[in-house]
Amino acid sequence: MKLSRMTFTKLLALVAIVLCSFASTSRASPLDPERYLLVEAEPRAQLEDYRLNDDVWPTHYDIEIKPYLEAETGKQAFTFDGNTKITVKTEKQGVAQIKLHIARMEITSWSVVRKSDNNVVQTLTEIYDAETEVLTIPLASGVTLQANTEYLLSFTYIGNMDDDMHGFYRSYYLLNGEKVWLGSTQFEQTHARRAFPCFDEPRFKATFQLKINHKTPQYSVYSNTPIVIASPSESGRTLTTFGITPSMSSYLVAFIVAPYEINQREQMGILARPQAQNQTQYSLDEGIKLLKALDDWIDYPYSSVPEMPRMYMAAVPDFSAGAMENWGLLTYREANILYRSDDSTSLQQQRIATVISHEIAHQWFGDLLTCEWWDVTWLNEGFARYCEYFATALVEPSWELEHQFVVEQVQSAMQMDSLITTHPMTHPVYTQAQASAIFDNISYNKGAVVLRMMEHFMTPSTFLTALRAYVKENAYKSVRPAHLFDALNRYNPNARMYMEPWTVQPGYPLVTVTSNDNGFTITQKRFLVNEPTHTDATMWPLPLTYATNANEFSNTTPTFVMTASYNIPMADASNVQYFILNKQQVGYYRVNYDAALWGKISNALHSEDFGGIHVLNRAQLVDDLFNLARGDIVPYGTALDILEYLKHETEYAPWLAAVNGLTTLSRRIHAEDEELFTIHILDIFAKAYDTVKFQAPSPTERRVFTYMRQNVLKWACNYGHEACSKAAVAEFERFYANPSVKVHPDLRQVVYCEGIRKGTQAHFEFLWNQYLTSNMATEQILILQGMGCASTYELISIMMDAIASEHVRSQDKSNAYTYIINNQYTLPHVSRYLQLNHAIWAAGHGSYLSVASAFNNLLARLKSDSERDTISAFIETNKNTLGQAAYDSIKNGLTEYETNKQFTMRNRDEISTFLKKKANGGAGAVFANVSMIVSLLVLVVCRW
């Protein structure tokens, strides 16, 4: 599955709100904009009761579904009739009960018979636990199942097509203002049980044969495998039978009932609503290329699974995750698969390609080989995330995805993994909520990062050879990490020893380098951003590489160091140009240096060509400096001084690391220092702005340069860069006057935002009308981003109403809200709206917990005690309306506000001293005086 980041954050926030009072005592970073709260649902049953035992195994399912997308005699709309027969057997003696999963269905009849002679097995009344969703079928007293004998479990039931984007759910698109309904599925992790009774754990692989009894000619149907036969069943309906699937997990079953059309070529087909067919060509072409590339890379062709002669990819209007890897029928959010060059940005195009790559990679890593249980989800998602970059790079070598990986994956994994609340990649889970929560940055990002680390250690060709062996040996099986380690170890006997600790230990190290005349000393200690004085003694096998000049950055094969302290002898060490550890940030750790070494690095960064420091190491230095300052390891003044080098930086990766760091920092700048901070931002972005210019990308420019422009323009305009603002407003006015000539997609984000920020209600209504009439999901996202820049209460209020309405789909609501509150000046308006219209917001989102979530996300960005007081008074007055859970949650949000405020106050002096010095023209004289170096040395000694 490809997660939608905001959906995931929202989910965690909800889990936190609903289930955890201890969220208030979690030590989530006060500076983390996404506020990763890894909290686990409080289980309401014994943990082991959530798991099925391995007494009885399914081997085959026959499933028949008859959906009602409109009411019929005796049938409610959005229900379905189900009939499921499961062949099971046991290898054990004396098995006296059968356990399996069902959820949200009404079973009208069931039975157990012995398959060989149809003899009914006598049973007692079934027992259902609504918390664990386990159905227990006890056999009659004295009756047991015979070992190695097939039995048939039969169920007749009525299921529900809910609108919550899970199970077999309902969705719609608009055609001439009318809703056209359709049905689609999302079963990962625990929702197949809502469509059919099943052994709903990934290890219970079985074959499936699906029949759908659907209305014709209005609806077509699609599933994992091709259609075998379709025959009229009754008036206006057809019974369609699909081919038997390969042996696979229940969460990978999928089916769609929709008036879709298909765009197909070779073995690939893109399914979408008819009006979106003009947006399917890119994903078809790119999908075909990616499938071929992955076929070759893994050396196990997709089509060598005989039941899978083709691959369908479907665009679904309502979709909870980003996409889903159902074997043979991959499903996507529209914005992650539908593309037009004249309406989607370059970055949206890249996202579509990488999401497709992710889902196709899952056809092996997830579908053919499946994580045995969700505690090792990284065996699915780590590989899929890795392929997002490195398999897409096989097809799109000019996109520099290897460089983007470092900032987007290595550095973002480190954010969550630097909190005390993080967890190891391999981590026990039991409940449905826990299974869902482990689909996080640790399973995805860190999973991919550790794989890349091993690739560099083993060399790419040996790593690939080992992976191919792993796939061949484990095809059709479920896997544990040991299966992977065994394969890797066969090609390098140290592989497991070096890799396993990274998967079973939480967090990562901060490596400190100190220099002396004869070399360098390396020490390691866990990095926890909010507890600089902790005593956690975890050690990691450290992959070490280093460079002392421009020519040494290319070889990334490391030496592993297994000790707390290690010496690198080097004659004449004090005369090296610089010493940089962890070339191209292949190793998963941060690095701090002593003052002398930081001084050398700073001199290099400020010299011509950045002293030849590799672009990825510049990105690493930027990210480390921001985070070491946050963690109280390096003073903010020092970090910001060195980061002044950014004024001359022209590459995307360091800039992306910089905007991530600056976003976090901007939220904790003291309100009274905002003006100074603005001067700082405009200064460091000045040259970058002149480099990228306010213009559409040229056809020959590097792809990442286009991405860099998007970031630079956004920051420049947001902080009032005059030329940027003028150009953006002029382009918006031009578009407003003549909507038939659209804004270049790669400029839309900044043009829409600035046009709305500086515009009138008429401009706002004009863009909203574009949203309502747009046929493209990618364009709708750009419009929502732009409308989030509205600056008056009246317009913010209209926008908030729109988000609460069905004009903004559930899948987009959380993002749309974030676009608004990412603008500091909107916060008082948003707060007022929520206080006045909490009932509308709660109704539009389904509960008052959404009101709590909205307040908490706002509080995380707020810098005003008077606004805090208003919110505090509001929740006391409205305690009964909010309900206890929402009230408690906002209370926690208010506590976090105080934590954030303390952080701001603690660091204000250092930051504002830097900003004032800079505003007075004095910044940039880095390490000019000895006393600073001495104080830094003292700092290093004290910390370690």
Q: Which residues make up the interface to Zn ion (CB under 5 A)? A: 1-2, 381, 384
- In the complex, what is the shortest distance from the CB of residue 384 to Zn ion, in angstroms, rounded to a whole number? 4
Least separation in angstroms between CB 39 and Zn ion: 22
Q: Give Cβ neighbours of residue 199 (< 8 Å, ≥ 6 apart).
A: 52, 56, 57, 58, 86, 100, 101, 206, 250
What's the closest the beta carbon of residue 325 comes to Zn ion, in angstroms?
6
Query: Is 106 marked as binding a ligand?
Result: no
- E strands along 298-369, which residues? 311-316, 323-324, 329-333
**Residue linked to tokens 């039991």:** 430
Token pair belonging to 188: 């990962």
The answer to whether 201 and 239 have CB atoms below 8 angstroms apart is no
DSSP state of 22: G
Residue 379 or 410: the one with the smaller Cβ distance to Zn ion is 379
| DSSP class of 821 | H
- C-alpha 411/C-alpha 416 separation (Å) is 10
Helix (H) or strand (E) holding 930, with range, is: helix 930-943
Cβ–Cβ < 8 Å for 367, 270 = no
| Cβ proximity to Zn ion, 220 vs 354, nearer residue | 354
**Dist. CA 406–CA 657, nearest whole Å:** 9
- DSSP per residue over 113-141, as a string? EETTTTEEPPB---EEETTTTEEEEEBPT
Output 2 or 205, the one with its CB closest to Zn ion.
2
**Which CB sits closer to Zn ion, 381 or 400?**
381
Closest CB to Zn ion among residues 367, 400: 367
Strand partners, 671: none
In angstroms, the first-to-last Cα distance of the chain is: 41
DSSP tag of 206: B
**CA atoms within 13 A of residue 834's CA, in its CB half-sphere:** 30
User: DSSP labels for 568-593?
Assistant: EE-TTGGGSS--EESGGG-SS-EEEE
Residue whose token pair is 């005390």: 420
Token representation of residue 656: 């992306």
Per-residue tokens: 456: 């560099």
- DSSP-assigned letter for residue 744: P
CB of 423 to Zn ion, least distance (A): 19
d(CA 30, CA 626): 14
Is 358 labelled a binding residue? yes
Q: Which of 940, 907, 903 is nearest to 525 (CA)?
A: 940
Coil, helix or strand for 156?
A: strand
Tokens 């921001």 correspond to 626
Q: Contact, 193 vs 101, CB < 8 A?
A: yes
Q: Which tokens sit at 708?
A: 């860099």
Query: Over the range 763-796, which residues count as b (16 or more CB within 10 Å of their CB) and which as e?
Result: bbebbbebbeeebbbbbbbbbbbbbbbbeeeebb
Token pair for residue 497?
């020893």
If the CB atoms of residues 6 and 568 are measured against Zn ion, the closer one turns out to be 6
CA–CA dist 233, 214 (Å, integer): 9
Q: Which is nearer to Zn ion, 291 or 750 (CB)?
A: 291
Q: Residue 713 in contact with residue 694, Cβ under 8 Å?
A: yes
Q: Considering only CA atoms, which of 137, 136, 19, 157 is closest in space to residue 83?
A: 157
Q: Does the annotation list 731 as a binding residue?
A: no
Q: Which of 330, 309, 324, 304 is nearest to 476 (CA)?
A: 304
Are 578 and 606 contacting, i.e. CB atoms less than 8 angstroms apart? no
Residue 225's region, left for phi above 0, alpha for psi from -120 to 50, else beta, is beta
- Alpha-carbon distance values, 155 to 42, 165, 377 (Å): 32, 24, 31
| DSSP codes of every residue in 227-294 | EEEEEEEETTEEEEEEPPPPSB-GGG--EEEE--EEEEETTEEEEE-GGGGGG-HHHHHHHHHHHHHH
Could you tell me which residues come within 8 angstroms of residue 748 by beta carbon, excluding any fewer than 6 positions away? 345, 779, 782, 786
**CA dist., res. 365 & res. 922, Å (int):** 55
Q: Decide whether 1 or 28 has the Cβ nearer to Zn ion.
A: 1
- Residues known to be catalytic: 359
| Beta strand pairing call for 509-516 and 546-547 | unpaired
Q: Binding site membership: which residues?
A: 358, 362, 381
Q: Binding site membership for Zn(2+): which residues?
A: 358, 362, 381
